[in-house]
């Protein structure tokens, strides 16, 4: 009986405990008793100690994270000060309003440090963007940032100085002509030409190539000698020959694509595949011109004389320059607008299908025929400068379109010539130069070019009717250039095709709006549209292709 009564009393106590909530309140109504107060005190004490320990640990971790992110906080403080400075908050009211801005940002960071690192990193780019916005953009390269080094011969000076006068503007440009001997330099020359200098003696350099001439050593040092003249604020040195003509506006457009603070060696190859094999496909041909950034020219000047001594067997100046560039580890950056023109004969095929890139230079002008008929070489080049002044970006750029009613193909080389063909030729065929020229190696055939060409058609009906530019002017009312192209009268063989005959045309008028930003966009040929053809005159409009417009056959 004693054991049973004891068990009953324990059961009553256990039932009372179970009927209480975790907070100690009874779950049901009834008498409330506190049979074990000590147990509850110990339970609450354990909870309190655990909470204190966890809080101390959390505060320690937050302090470490705040130390780690101190540069981030400093960046926020710098940004806040910069914002306060730029908004000119100098009054007492401004100070009182700017202080909470820094405080609030600091509080946000303290809150972020208690959160995962991911949230802190997400806020970091915002600060970086604010700091970057304060950095001014570098000014674009202009022509006065360029210094020309022109290689010239005293024997040919009186003849070739006329080429330099065509493109050089003393009031805007800087350059030096480097000669092998003294020449007559008249007061008139001083107004129209760069200053002349005689190159330093190179007799102490070894030269063992039997086919070449040791003047190659003198010419290869022109960039270094020009650098040592200590011109101010130079970004680029541009090398060229005395029989080279530069389109300087397009040269600047090309150079603006590159960072002048980096090492750049910019130029192009020869048109002759054999020349490139014999010398190098990684070499800039100096006659067509090449550009060297100022830092690279400075690095070159420190080692070039030693470099030249290591290559006595090389032929010319260009391959010596490329050998030193190879030692510096700088490859050629190719720009197709630099033209060496290692060809003979008529340049028409090359110029009428100029690649989609700015025309930068023309070389070997004494070797090829004048680019315009019935004119001297100098007169022809002076004539080319007329459209260059109106729209230098578009000079020589090809456009292809069709007069489908007459089944004619029209190719416009703006500022130079227009061709009209009987029949329909695809753009793929028209953009290949026709072989009106001969290879630098006279025994070589068309397979010895470093680019695709197409033969001059033997079919008398497919012989093009050529129209050369006669004049170019600006129409201020329409804000367009108006260039006229007159028929080049040469005998045409008879054609038996029953179709409209281009022989009835006397001239072509091309309207084109100047587009200085042409090369700021992705490369693309302009489109042309035949507007009307009547009374021996064809009117063509050339411009940026419209949405969906293609040269469709």
Instruction: Please give the Cα distance from 200 to 281 (Å, whole number).
Output: 30
Confidence band for 318, pLDDT divided at 50, 70 and 90: very high
Q: Answer for the pair 487, 506: CB distance below 8 angstroms, yes or no.
A: yes
pLDDT in tens, 457-472: 889 999 999 999 999 9
Do 109 and 124 meet the contact criterion of CB atoms below 8 Å apart? Answer: no
pLDDT of residue 425: 95
Measured distance CA(202)–CA(308) in Å, rounded: 11
Dihedral angle, C-alpha 467, 372, 433, 257, nearest 10 °: -110
Nearest alpha-carbon partner for 344 in 271, 397, 250:
271
Pick the range with the lowest mean pLDDT from 35-39, 306-310, 323-327: 35-39
Confidence label for 444 from pLDDT (cuts 50, 70 and 90): very high
Mean pLDDT (whole number) for 270-289 = 96
Indicate if the pLDDT at residue 68 is higher than 50. no
DSSP 433-484: PB--EEESSTT--GGGBSS--BPPP-SGGGPPEEEEEEEEEEETTTTEEEEE
Using DSSP, state whether 369 is helix, strand or coil.
Answer: coil
- In this predicted structure, the answer to whether residue 415 has a pLDDT above a threshold of 90 is yes
| pLDDT higher at 325 or 58 | 325
- Three-state SS for 493? coil
d(CA 310, CA 320): 10
Whether the per-residue pLDDT at 9 is higher than 70: the answer is no
Q: Please, which pLDDT band fits residue 12 given cuts at 50, 70 and 90?
A: very low
Please give the residue that has the higher pLDDT: either 112 or 293: 293
Predicted local distance difference test score (pLDDT) of residue 59: 62
CA angle 171, 177, 178 (to 5 degrees): 160
The pLDDT assigned to 46 comes to: 75
User: How high is the mean pLDDT of the chain?
Assistant: 84
Average of per-residue pLDDT across 501-521 = 95
Domain 143-340: top CATH class: alpha beta
| Contact between 536 and 487 (Cβ < 8 Å) | no
What is the DSSP code (8-state) at residue 545?
Answer: P
Percentage of the chain modeled with pLDDT above 70: 78
Residue 62 — very low, low, confident or very high, per pLDDT cuts 50/70/90?
low
pLDDT digits (tens, 9 = 90+) for 325-364: 999 999 999 999 999 999 999 999 999 999 999 999 999 9
Structural domain spans, the chain: 143-340, 391-543
Q: pLDDT of 185-198, one tens digit each?
A: 898 999 999 999 99
- Read off the pLDDT of each residue in 50-68 and give the average, rounded to a whole number: 61
Q: Is the pTM of this model over 0.85?
A: no
Q: How confident is the model at residue 175 (pLDDT cuts 50, 70, 90)?
A: very high
The reported pLDDT for the residue numbered 37 is: 63
Do residues 332 and 267 make contact, with C-beta atoms less than 8 angstroms apart? yes
The confidence score (pLDDT) of residue 182 equals 95
Q: Report how far residue 10's alpha carbon sits from residue 13's, in angstroms, rounded to the nearest whole number.
A: 5
Q: Is residue 102 scored above 90 in pLDDT?
A: no
Using CA atoms, how far apart are residues 476 and 430, in angstroms rounded to an integer?
Answer: 33
Whether residue 105 is predicted with pLDDT greater than 50 in this model: the reply is no
Q: Which CATH superfamily includes the segment(s) 391-543?
A: Mannose-6-phosphate receptor binding domain (2.70.130.10)
pLDDT band at 60 (very low <50, low <70, confident <90, very high): low
> What residues have CB less than 8 Å from 510, skipping those under 6 apart?
412, 414, 418, 482, 483, 484, 485, 528, 540, 541, 542
Amino acid 29: pLDDT: 42
Please determine whether the domains at 143-340 and 391-543 fall in the same fold group of CATH.
no
Confidence of residue 231 (pLDDT cuts 50, 70, 90): very high
Tokens for 69, please give them.
Answer: 């992110």
Question: How far apart, in whole angstroms, are the C-alpha atoms of residue 544 and residue 512?
Answer: 9
> Higher confidence at residue 236 or residue 551?
236
């Amino acid at each position: 009986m004693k054991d049973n009564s004891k068990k009953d009393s324990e059961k009553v106590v256990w039932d009372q405990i179970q009927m209480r909530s975790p907070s100690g309140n009874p779950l049901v109504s009834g008498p409330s008793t506190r049979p074990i107060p000590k147990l509850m005190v110990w339970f609450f004490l354990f909870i309190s100690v655990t909470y204190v320990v966890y809080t101390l640990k959390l505060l320690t971790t937050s302090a470490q994270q705040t130390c780690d992110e101190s540069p981030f906080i400093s960046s926020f403080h710098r940004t806040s000060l910069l914002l306060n400075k730029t908004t000119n908050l100098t009054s007492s009211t401004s100070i009182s309003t700017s202080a909470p801005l820094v405080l609030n940002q600091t509080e946000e960071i303290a809150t972020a440090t208690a959160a995962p690192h991911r949230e802190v990193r997400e806020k970091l780019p915002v600060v970086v963007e604010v700091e970057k916005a304060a950095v001014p953009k570098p000014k674009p390269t202009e022509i006065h940032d360029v210094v020309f080094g022109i290689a010239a011969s005293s024997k040919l000076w009186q003849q070739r100085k006329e080429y330099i006068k065509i493109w050089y503007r003393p009031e805007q440009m800087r350059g030096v002509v480097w000669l092998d001997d003294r020449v007559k330099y008249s007061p008139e020359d001083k107004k129209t030409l760069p200053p002349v200098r005689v190159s330093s003696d190179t007799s102490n350099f070894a030269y063992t190539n039997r086919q070449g001439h040791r003047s190659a050593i003198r010419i290869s040092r022109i960039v270094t000698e020009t650098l040592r003249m200590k011109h101010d604020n130079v970004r680029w040195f541009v090398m060229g020959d005395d029989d080279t003509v530069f389109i300087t506006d397009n040269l600047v457009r090309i150079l603006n694509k590159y960072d002048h603070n980096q090492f750049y060696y910019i130029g192009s190859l020869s048109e002759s595949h054999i020349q490139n094999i014999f010398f190098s496909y990684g070499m800039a041909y100096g006659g067509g011109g090449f550009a060297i950034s100022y830092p690279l020219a400075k690095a070159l000047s420190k080692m070039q004389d030693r470099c030249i001594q290591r290559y006595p067997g090389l032929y010319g100046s260009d391959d010596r320059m490329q050998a030193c560039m190879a030692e510096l580890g700088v490859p050629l950056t190719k720009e197709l607008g630099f033209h060496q023109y290692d060809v003979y004969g008529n340049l028409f095929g090359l110029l009428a299908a100029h690649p989609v890139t700015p025309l930068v230079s023309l070389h070997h002008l004494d070797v090829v025929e004048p680019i315009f008929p019935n004119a001297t070489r100098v007169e022809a080049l002076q004539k080319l400068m007329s459209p260059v002044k109106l729209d230098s970006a578009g000079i020589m750029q090809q456009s292809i379109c069709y007069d489908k009613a007459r089944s004619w193909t029209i190719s416009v080389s703006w500022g130079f010539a227009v061709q009209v063909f009987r029949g329909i030729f695809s753009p793929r065929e028209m953009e290949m130069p026709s072989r009106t020229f001969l290879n630098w190696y006279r025994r070589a055939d068309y397979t010895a070019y470093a680019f695709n060409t197409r033969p001059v058609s033997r079919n008398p009906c497919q012989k093009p009717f050529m129209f050369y530019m006669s004049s170019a002017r600006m129409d201020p009312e329409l804000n367009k250039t108006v260039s006229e192209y007159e028929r080049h009268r040469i005998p045409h063989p008879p054609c038996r095709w029953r179709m409209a005959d281009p022989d009835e045309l006397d001239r072509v008028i091309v309207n084109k709006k100047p587009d200085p930003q042409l090369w700021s966009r992705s490369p693309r040929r302009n489109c042309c549209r035949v507007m009307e053809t009547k009374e021996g005159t064809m009117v063509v409009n050339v411009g940026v292709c419209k949405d969906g417009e293609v040269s469709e056959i």
